[in-house]
Amino acid sequence: MDLSKWPTFSLLKPEFVEKVKMACVYGNMANEAIMVTKDDDVYGVGFNTAGCLGVGDLNSTMEPRKIEPLSQKKVKGIAYGSGPHVLAYTENGELYSWGHNGNCQLGNGSTNQGLTPYLVTTHLHNKKVTRVAAGSHHSLALTEEGEVLAWGQNNYGQVGSGTTTNQPTPRKVIASLSSRRVVDIACGQTSSMAVMDNGEVYGWGYNSNGQLGLGNSVNQHNPCRVAALEGLVITKIVCGYSHTLALSDEGGLWAWGSNSYGQLGTGNKANQAAPVRVAQDIERIVDIAATHYCNLSAAMTQSSKVYMWGQSRGHCVVTPLETPYTSLHEVFAYWGCPAVTFEPFHVTMTTQSSLAQAMALALDDEYGEFQETADVVFLIDEKRIRAHRAILKIRCQYYRNMFQQHWKESNLEEVEVKDYTYPVFRAFLQYVYTDTVNVSPEDAIGLLDLANAYCEEGLKKHCERIIRHGITTENAAMLYAVAIKYEAKELEKFCFRFALNHMTEVAQTEAFMALDEHTVKNFIQRAAKHGAFKY
């Protein structure tokens, strides 16, 4: 994502921009921002409402100012309320807070403004934080043990303590969640949501618009299960101002809550107090986005198409609208009111004649300006691809070895490829030239085979991501076996968890029946350890 999408960054000096690796925009006018540089320094820029830049005073700044307490701490994630207050956690699990604190949302035991980051972890008894979320004036943190901690404004029960009294320091959300492992959290303006490791969803806090998904409009002071999602395995949840979106492990999208601007994507503006399936006429969805700052929703599909709906700078888009964007962040940069980021983004710089663009054009350029630079042709399935030995030797150890004198292919102008299909080998070359991969989940399996044979660990990660996005009950067993074969440990865990969540369906598929005896026994033993066969 390019910093230039946001006006907040437009006055930054190019030499500073080149150093930025992560950034976020927040505030009621989208006029505050935080940036983390490649050398791990943290800077703030903007209006500095309530000291929300964390620089030690209330002065606004058009020049980046270093946030000393966060620099060199390896900040990993950031969340922000509309007060605004800001939360940041590090790779070591430390949690910091600063900014507006009129409702105890900083978790420091007071209501004093926080002009510099405060180490909230001192109240957490050595718990490591792995995720944070912020409502307008309350905060949530998820620990590596799967516990949810909450603090701040609690007038509607959004802290989940069973009362409506503000919570000055982090408190574990116990009711309904005490013995459960939480894997995702999200905040609306005055509501809270959590996803369990088994895919169940719980909500608490303000519910006047049905944003908790409970089928009613009654506020909840303790977490309540969203019963309408029973039988589904939800993997991600996000909240808008007063609506909620949930994504299942099979790529389905559910929405509920306020719909005054079409933010649910149902085709109308009627509120929904219980989850409804939306966006069924588009392909599998792999990511979703919303922020409590506005009434805008966005989703990305398996083929990286980006859709948007809801309140879009005066327009009301009531059904998912396909956009030309390549990132969910662009939806909020161009159409959000205010144009805040829904989460921090990783910065990528683009120029008109970038190296990546030149490399992409050079690959298989038969008639253009790069045609004479190619010095090797690959023959696959009776098709030819023109390439460059130097690039292959620089980027790939396998071809660095091949083009040495002792390989027979080293002096050939045309090299035949017999073990892989044309789409798979073409995708491999695209990765070598551009560091990007664009194949179907089916071809990603063949590409994973190639990546494993060529010892390309980076390519394996790309393949695993694509395969995860393409998993279904029909192919889960086959993908599980593929992951074992190619020693893709993270993919193996993912496929196993998916199969466990859909055990009945997966066990009846042809793919499961085709597994070898050793793999089946191993799967059953693992499933038993996870309680799959308990009565």
Q: Strand 376-380 vs strand 414-416: parallel, antiparallel, or unpaired?
A: parallel
Q: What is the mean pLDDT of residues 244-258?
A: 98
Q: In the sheet where 376-380 sits, what is the strand order?
A: 383-387, 376-380, 414-416
Q: Which amino acid is at 46?
A: G
pLDDT at 260: 97
Q: How crowded is the C-beta side of 469, counted as CA atoms within 13 Å?
A: 23
What's the rounded Cα separation, in Å, for the pair 224 and 219?
10
pLDDT at 367: 67
Inter-residue long-range contacts of 36-42, CB under 8 Å, 24+ positions, other chains counted: 36/75, 36/344, 40/71, 40/72, 40/73, 40/74, 40/75, 41/66, 41/71, 41/72, 42/66, 42/67, 42/70, 42/71, 42/73, 42/75
Q: Tell me, what DSSP letter sits at residue 56?
A: S
What's the rounded Cα separation, in Å, for the pair 121 and 114?
15
Q: Give 364's pLDDT tier (boundaries 50, 70, 90).
A: confident
Report CA 277 to chain centroid distance, whole Å.
21
Q: Give 412's pLDDT tier (boundaries 50, 70, 90).
A: confident
- 223-254 as b/e, with b when 16 or more CB fall inside 10 Å? bbebebbeebbbbbbbbbbbbbbbbbbbbbbb
Measured from the Cβ of residue 525, the count of other Cβ atoms closer than 10 Å reads 9
Q: In the sheet where 191-196 sits, what is the strand order?
A: 182-187, 191-196, 201-205, 220-225
Q: Give 143's pLDDT tier (boundaries 50, 70, 90).
A: very high
pLDDT digit string, tens, across residues 103-136: 999 999 999 999 999 999 888 888 999 999 999 9
pLDDT at 535: 60
Beta strands in 7-57 (DSSP E): 20-26, 32-37, 42-46
Report CA 497 to chain centroid distance, whole Å.
19
Q: Give 4's pLDDT tier (boundaries 50, 70, 90).
A: confident
Q: What is the mean pLDDT of residues 501-511?
A: 95
What's the rounded Cα separation, in Å, for the pair 302 and 261?
26
pLDDT digit string, tens, across residues 154-176: 999 999 999 999 999 999 999 99
What's the whole-number average pLDDT of the chain? 94
**Measuring CA to CA, which residue among 245, 165, 169, 158 is closest to residue 205?**
158
Q: Give 96's pLDDT tier (boundaries 50, 70, 90).
A: very high
Q: 276 with 213: CB under 8 angstroms?
A: no
pLDDT at 368: 67
| Angle between helices 476-485 and 441-453 in degrees, nearest 10 | 10
User: Can you count the helices (H) and strands (E) in the chain?
Assistant: 13, 28
The full set of domains in the chain, from first to last, is 1-167 (2.130.10.30), 175-346 (2.130.10.30), 353-458 (3.30.710.10), 471-535 (1.25.40.420)
The answer, yes or no, to whether residue 350 has pLDDT greater than 80, is: no
Q: Which amino acid is at 412?
A: L
pLDDT at 360: 83
pTM over 0.85: yes
pLDDT at 533: 80
What's the rounded Cα separation, in Å, for the pair 17 and 508?
54
Query: Which residue has 């005896």 as its token pair?
Result: 517
Return the SS3 of 319: strand
Q: Which of 206-220, 280-294, 354-368 has the lowest mean pLDDT?
A: 354-368
Report CA 136 to chain centroid distance, whole Å.
22
Q: How crowded is the C-beta side of 215, counted as CA atoms within 13 Å?
A: 6
- Tokens (6 digits) for 500: 């466990």
What's the rounded Cα separation, in Å, for the pair 488 and 482?
8
pLDDT at 470: 93
pLDDT at 405: 65
Return the SS3 of 499: helix
The answer, yes or no, to whether residue 351 has pLDDT greater than 90, is: no
Q: Tell me, what DSSP letter sits at residue 68?
A: G
Query: Which residue has 């949690």 as its token pair?
Result: 95
Helices (H), 419-456: 422-434, 441-453
pLDDT digit string, tens, across residues 177-202: 988 999 999 999 999 999 999 999 99
Query: Which residue has 């809801």 as its token pair?
Result: 310
pLDDT digit string, tens, across residues 434-489: 999 989 888 999 999 999 999 999 999 999 999 999 999 999 999 999 999 999 99
Q: What is the largest CA-CA distance in the chain?
A: 78
What's the rounded Cα separation, in Å, for the pair 223 and 194?
9
Q: Give 349's pLDDT tier (boundaries 50, 70, 90).
A: low
Beta strands in 57-119 (DSSP E): 61-66, 75-80, 85-90, 95-99, 114-119
pLDDT at 352: 45
